[in-house]
Amino acid sequence: MAKEVSAKPFLKWAGGKTQLLSKIDNYLIFDDSIYKYAEPFVGGGAVLFHVLNNYSPKEIYINDINSSLIDAYSVVKSNVNDLINLLSEIEIQYIALDEEERKNYFYNKREKFNILKKANENILEKSALMIFLNKTCFNGLYRENKSGEFNVPHGKYKNPKICDRENLLAVSNKLKNVEIYCGDYKNSENFIDANTLVYFDPPYKPLSKSGFTSYSKSGFNDDNQVELSQFFKELNEKGAKVFLSNSDPKSNDGDLFFDDLYKDFNIERVSGNRMINSDAANRGKINEIIVSNFKRRNDEGI
């Protein structure tokens, strides 16, 4: 019997949790009473795919406010073969071009993506274009301006893998029993109960004025962080197991913002990597926090 292929994120995403999976895994506690899993800020899905590759919750719910991202998940789940065909065609065209031609090709595709995005139509082509742009734009960054347009410039990659057929098929297979939604994270409340493990990975509180939170045109400010903490507490009252990751302003400049918001919960400080910063000197190790309302695996002696 052939071994099942593991799935990995099919998009690069700012704030991806791949480097923190060994820490986050300590919070992935499923048993007879915890058999549902929810990710209301799914993003690139590093934790989601780790769960899908290593655990077997009976029900899984993912959500994100970025409609183009959620459309891409839906297309990979339901129409992966047509998506692969489109991406293969784009890859062949793009790789054959010289540097200047690639740049022009990129901006033409970016314009088409934004047209489809605004019109909210042809999600198959839009999703193929989103994956192409993600694999060929500067730093693999997804960013929207206040008008909701994707505005990241062209990057310089010698031989980008635009169509990863094997992984797309693996992702499609893993998503077959996953409920996919687009909207506000609080909409997840109807899914979440005392049998649910919930992971929140919101846009991080910036540790500098140039901090990045523009995954969607709406942004995510301190008031939104406070609102999220209130929702965290409401789910705690429902009996759900809830954990959350964010930046650690206390370690950066002594700011107790999160320590005060989550003073009644467990806070673990961990080391992560900052890969997106306009100043290369500010990329590298940073401190992050993991907040939880339950004991992690190591603390339970499991």
Higher pLDDT, 163 or 17: 163
Report whether pLDDT(3) > 80: no
Residue written as tokens 């192409």?
132
Neighbours of 259 (CB within 10 A): 14
Q: So what's the pLDDT on residue 125?
A: 98
Fold agreement (18-65+183-300, 74-166): no
For the domain with range 18-65+183-300, which CATH number is right: 3.30.300.30, 3.40.640.10, 3.50.50.100, 3.40.50.150? 3.40.50.150
Q: So what's the pLDDT on residue 89?
A: 98
Which SS3 state, helix, strand or coil, does residue 205 take? Answer: coil
Q: Domain boundaries in the chain?
A: 18-65+183-300, 74-166
Q: So what's the pLDDT on residue 251?
A: 87
244-278 pLDDT per residue, tens: 999 999 988 889 999 999 999 999 999 866 554 44
201-227 pLDDT per residue, tens: 999 998 865 444 444 556 789 999 999
60-94 pLDDT per residue, tens: 999 999 999 999 999 999 999 999 999 999 999 99
Please compute the mean of the pLDDT values over residues 94-123 and round it to a whole number: 96
Question: What is the signed CA dihedral for 192, 196, 199, 200, rounded to 10 degrees?
Answer: 20
23-56 pLDDT per residue, tens: 999 999 999 999 999 999 999 999 999 999 999 9
Q: So what's the pLDDT on residue 212?
A: 45
Question: What is the signed CA dihedral for 266, 272, 275, 277, rounded to 10 degrees?
Answer: 60
Return mean pLDDT, the chain.
Answer: 91
Please compute the mean of the pLDDT values over residues 121-127 and round it to a whole number: 96
Q: So what's the pLDDT on residue 271?
A: 84
> Helices 123-136 and 67-78, interaxial angle, to 10°?
110
Q: So what's the pLDDT on residue 210?
A: 44
Single out the residue of 49, 37, 44 nearest to residue 70, CA to CA: 44
CA–CA dist 249, 233 (Å, integer): 21
pLDDT band at 141 (very low <50, low <70, confident <90, very high): confident
CA–CA dist 157, 224 (Å, integer): 36
Give the architecture (CATH level 2) of 74-166. Orthogonal Bundle (1.10)
DSSP β-ladder status, 266-274 and 196-200: unpaired
Kindly report the pTM of this predicted structure: 0.91
CA–CA dist 249, 269 (Å, integer): 11
Quote the DSSP letter at residue 16.
-
CA–CA dist 280, 55 (Å, integer): 37
End-to-end C-alpha distance for the chain, whole angstroms: 31
